[in-house]
A and B are shown apart, each in its own frame.
Chain A
Amino acid sequence: MNKIEFINECLNELRSDKELPKIISFNNDLNLRYDLGLDSFDLALLTSKIEDEYDIDIFKNGLIETYGEIIQQL
């Protein structure tokens, strides 16, 4: 699984836990909170999963708001 597939899977898992539908196609402008429905705690878990997998803290340098910004960090 490549990094993008991993991120997409994590995001869909978070959405599934909140009973939100799966997203088939992500684009860089998707806002994590308003478009993907994630709150701070979801983002906290996302950053933890990414850190466990790739040893990168995507929020280390400040707030990440969009899908594109996550991909950029990786």
Chain B
Amino acid sequence: MNYIQIDNEVCSYNELIEYINACEKVVTNPINLRGISFLANLLKSLISDKEIEILHPISPAGYKKKFNTPYKEQIHFTDNLFISSISELTESLKKCQGEIILYTTGSTGTPKKIKHKFPEFLHDVIISEDKIRDKWLTLYSKFHIAGLKVLFQAIMNNNTIVYDEKPTKNSIQEKINQHQINAISATPTHFTNYISDKNPINSISRISLGGERSDKKQIELLRIKFPKARIRNIYATTESGALFSSDDTFFSIDKIDGNKIKIIDNEIYIKTSLLGKVEGNIKSEWYATGDSVKFINDINFEIIGRTKRTVNVGGYLVNLDEIQNILRKFHLIVDCYVYTEKNSVVGELICADIILRDKTKLSQFKSKIRKEMPPYQIPMKINTVDILSLNSNGKKHKIE
């Protein structure tokens, strides 16, 4: 029997339907709901054609500070909806007029509201016979678009799905064994942080990567660790969901629909009509994603990073994601996160949190980068760490 495990609560699909049917009312801006209550509330809101706001874990005080208005729970009584089976639930989701509101922080930290209509939100969910036996493990937050997308992928195919929102070095293996997982959805850094050895796990047949750029080193690690897995590297945005994918670090322009996605001046643009409703009303036909690319030949390109991660260091314009990519190519490095701090001499001082293969080789690493990188790209402040700090979306950020 398939089930959903979320916030360490477990329920079967039949139990989930009982929960949904028992909900006489829904909270359309929940901040206190967790586990199966969160899930039942989400699904009941959607099939009742309500608009539900997904807020990251936030306290009422945090809400007031962020949105400049006191938090007030919005409760709606639902019509006498009765779902008799999982297939009726999935059919209802395909036909409902509910909406999900998400918030992106992007690189600026200021939250932007994005509203996605159902059933369009399900556009990148693949429902097929060969997905029926999938059992998913996701390391994404249930509040993040990637965590929601894999949830609906699982629900629409009646799959088991297990959330591990606070993974550790052992928890991935433990959960794979405990739940007979065959599919994993996570960011590349999740894998770098939490895969502690190269002993292969042959039971994994599917890996969905997303949320940030992945590089050759990470893909190779995954191929060694999960030799039977089909790796799907997905490019997606909170505004649009998944747009294109590949099984490598690069993507091919000839596999992209030019009517929907363009690359202009090495930045990815999306046709505005593909987006959820974005706060601020985008007036132009094409929406600038802020993601910059580099072509490796006429057809294939890699995502470099965020255009907003370009800073002026001593008069030189540098992209911090590009520096990160360069550092990760050094054999001595397992992974790193590059950021800046304000500096009165050069404007911005490049800093890096790095995981070294061998902590005793820091001097050797510093010597190597000085020889091989131009001075304005070299991180001057280097912290060696055992694990990179991840935000709630599973993306690297500065250790506070």
- Contacts A45-B380, A48-B341 given; indicate if A40 touches B366 (C-beta within 8 A): no
Q: Are the CB atoms of A41 and B314 closer together than 8 Å?
A: yes
* Residue of A43, A44, A47 most packed against chain B (CB within 10 A): A44
- Contacts A19-B367, A48-B381 given; indicate if A57 touches B376 (C-beta within 8 A): no
Check if A18 is an interface residue, CB within 8 A of chain B.
yes
Residues of A near any B CB (own CB < 8 A): 16-19, 39-45, 47-48, 57, 59-60
**Which residues of chain B have C-beta atoms less than 8 A from A43's C-beta?**
345
Give the CA-CA distance A18 to B363 in the complex, in Å. 10
Give the CA-CA distance A42 to B343 in the complex, in Å. 12
Q: Are the CB atoms of B376 and A41 closer together than 8 Å?
A: yes
Check if B256 is an interface residue, CB within 8 A of chain A.
no
Interface of A is mostly: helix
Give the CA-CA distance A43 to B370 in the complex, in Å. 16
For residue A14, which residue of chain B has the nearest CB? B380
Contact count band on B = 10 to 19
Give the CA-CA distance A42 to B366 in the complex, in Å. 13
Check if B60 is an interface residue, CB within 8 A of chain A.
no
Check if B378 is an interface residue, CB within 8 A of chain A.
yes
* Residue of A16, A48, A60 most packed against chain B (CB within 10 A): A48
10 inter-chain pairs at a CB distance below 8 angstroms, sorted by A residue, are A41-B314, A41-B378, A41-B380, A42-B380, A44-B314, A44-B345, A44-B346, A44-B380, A48-B381, A57-B344
* Residue of B346, B363, B375 most packed against chain A (CB within 10 A): B346
Partner of B349, one of A16, A18, A39, A44: A44
**Which residues of chain B have C-beta atoms less than 8 A from A18's C-beta?**
370
Q: Shortest beta-carbon distance, B91 to chain A, in Å?
A: 59
